[in-house]
Amino acid sequence: MIDLNEQFGGIDIYLFDQLLRKRIAPGMRILDAGCGFGRNLIYLLREGFEVFGADSDPRALKATRRLAASIAPKLPADNFRLESVEAMSFPDAVADVVISSAVLHFASSDDHFRAMLHGAWRVLKPGGLLFCRLASSIGIEHQIQRVARRRFQLPDGSERYLVDEALLLKLTEELGGQLDDPLKTTVVQNQRSMTTWIVRKNQQPLVVH
């Protein structure tokens, strides 16, 4: 019997959906912008993808390097870098897929959010895919309390930077991208709301007249 946990680890179910739909395919370069402890990378490492990652938490980054070394020892350790998403040192347009899973909602301000988003977008190739999961206000508009601008206190007691549908659609256009999937939101009862935002980067830069 196949041990699914060993094969896939704690992969985000919506990222798993992209694998099933072959939008993430062998031969692609994958960059996890805010990789944490590497839970979304186990399958990719096992299947021989060229994987990169960045995280500002030294403990998490050390764990991801150790994970990568145990599964894919031929990958250079420098593929995994201790740095913030907004200040990643990877070259422009290096990745076919950029993963941003439960990262952007930790933004401290509008400027910080945009800096992180543009950091992730910069390393994505034209035609590439941005997979993003982040907290939103969708479906829980009357259960959150504003702290400052887009920072809100959630029903679970945490504080997050929250997006909504209008902002995500505006950002998609501003970036020069197209939604590859409709926005999908999961409301966790009396706790939080998480939205999946999947954007394809246009092959040609957007020209604004």
Q: For 187, how many CA atoms within 13 A lie in the half-sphere containing its CB?
A: 11
Dist. CA 55–CA 182, nearest whole Å: 28
Q: Which domain holds residue 61?
A: 4-201
Question: Is residue 18, in this structure, part of any structural domain at all?
Answer: yes
Residue 130 located in a structural domain? yes
Per the structure, the count of domains in the chain is 1
50 forms bridges with which residues in the sheet? 29
For position 11, which CATH number holds? Answer: 3.40.50.150
Strand 95-101 relative to strand 80-82: parallel, antiparallel, unpaired?
A: unpaired
pLDDT for 209 equals: 35
Between CA 159 and CA 204 the distance in angstroms is 37
Q: How far apart are CA 54 and CA 126, in angstroms?
A: 21
Residue 208 lies in a domain: no
Local structure of residue 200 (DSSP, 8 states)? E
pLDDT digits (tens, 9 = 90+) for 6-28: 677 778 899 999 999 999 999 99
Collapsed DSSP state (helix, strand, coil) of residue 37: coil
Residue 209: inside a domain, yes or no?
A: no
207 in a domain, yes or no? no
Q: Which amino acid is at 90?
A: F
Q: Is residue 74 part of a domain?
A: yes
Encode pLDDT of 131-180 as tens digits: 999 999 999 999 999 999 999 999 999 999 999 999 999 999 999 999 99
Q: Classify residue 138: in a domain, yes or no.
A: yes
pLDDT at 205 over 70: no
78-133 pLDDT, tens digit per residue, is: 999 999 999 999 999 999 999 999 999 999 999 999 999 999 999 999 999 999 99
